Amino acid sequence: MPIERGKDWGVDAPPGLVDVIATTDAEVRTVVEESWAAGTEVPSIALLGGDLWRALGSPVGGLQRIRSRDAKMVPIDAAQVRLDDRSCVAVAHVFCMKSWWYGPITAVMNSEWRDTWRVAPKAHPNDGRFDLLEGDLPIRERWLARSRLRTGDHLPHSGIRSERVTHLERTFERPFRIRIDGVDEGRHRSIAVRVVPDAFNVIF
């Protein structure tokens, strides 16, 4: 069940529960995709890096923490993604664009972070929704917004539409480049994204 305002999130991690260790969002995504494709439950994932890890506060201690009494286990949402006629998974974020420097950009965020950029300051990886940001800023405003991304101060912005969604569909006049969890998926004419709440558990 997605997190509720004012309530604790997650539980103490049971000892010895770690099945898989992941240091990037792409590695987490692979585990989820393979499990869904096989029709099996996603194993518990020890998270040691990536943008989901940053959304959890960038906990220090590595495997020593994971194996200690300080370890926590929390449920994480994921997304079923369809690119034209191909299906895949997203766990941290999806970006659709022609270029970082011109043309419209669509960002679908489950984590507030993309590397050192705090793209969606209000995003939470287990609230049952994704933060959607869309804009097509002139180059000067784009530079200014980019300079504020590290702190999240690019929002609010009159040229950036922001809302919280459980699904979305977009069709582009020309193919857009799609990046999912930091991986370049090539250019596509259409994309559909749907939230899957409580898709898997991570230990941190």
DSSP H helical ranges for 67-174: 139-147
pLDDT for residue 161 is more than 80: yes
How far is the C-alpha of 48 from the C-alpha of 24, rounded, in Å?
A: 8
Q: Is residue 203 part of a domain?
A: no
Same-domain check for residues 123 and 155: yes
Average pLDDT over residues 169-197: 97
Residue-level pLDDT at 77: 98
DSSP one-letter string for 9-54: --EEPPTT---EEESSHHHHHHHHHHHHHHT-PPPPEEE-SSHHHH
Residue-level pLDDT at 18: 84
pLDDT for residue 42 is more than 70: yes
Which phi and psi (to 5°) does residue 7 adopt?
Answer: -110, 150
pTM attached to this predicted model? 0.94
Which structural domain range is residue 111 located in? Answer: 80-197
Same-domain check for residues 69 and 109: no
Average pLDDT over residues 51-77: 94
Per the prediction, the chain carries an average pLDDT of 95
pLDDT, tens digit (0-9, with 9 covering 90-100), for 7-28: 788 899 988 778 899 999 999 9
- The total number of structural domains that make up the chain: 2
Same-domain check for residues 157 and 183: yes
Q: What CATH number does residue 169 fall under? A: 2.60.200.40
Same-domain check for residues 92 and 192: yes
Residue-level pLDDT at 79: 98
Listed residues 27, 52, 77: the one ending a domain: 77
Residue-level pLDDT at 73: 96
Q: Is residue 204 part of a domain?
A: no
Same-domain check for residues 26 and 122: no
pLDDT over 70 for what percent of the chain?
98
pLDDT for residue 6 is more than 70: no
Same-domain check for residues 84 and 57: no
Average pLDDT over residues 35-40: 97
Same-domain check for residues 97 and 190: yes
Q: Is residue 135 part of a domain?
A: yes
Residue-level pLDDT at 5: 63
Listed residues 77, 107, 125: the one ending a domain: 77
Which phi and psi (to 5°) does residue 26 adopt?
Answer: -65, -35
Listed residues 77, 96, 127: the one ending a domain: 77
Residue-level pLDDT at 8: 80
pLDDT, tens digit (0-9, with 9 covering 90-100), for 116-157: 999 999 999 999 999 999 999 999 999 999 999 999 999 999
What's the CA angle centered on 162, arms 50 and 24, to 5 degrees? 10
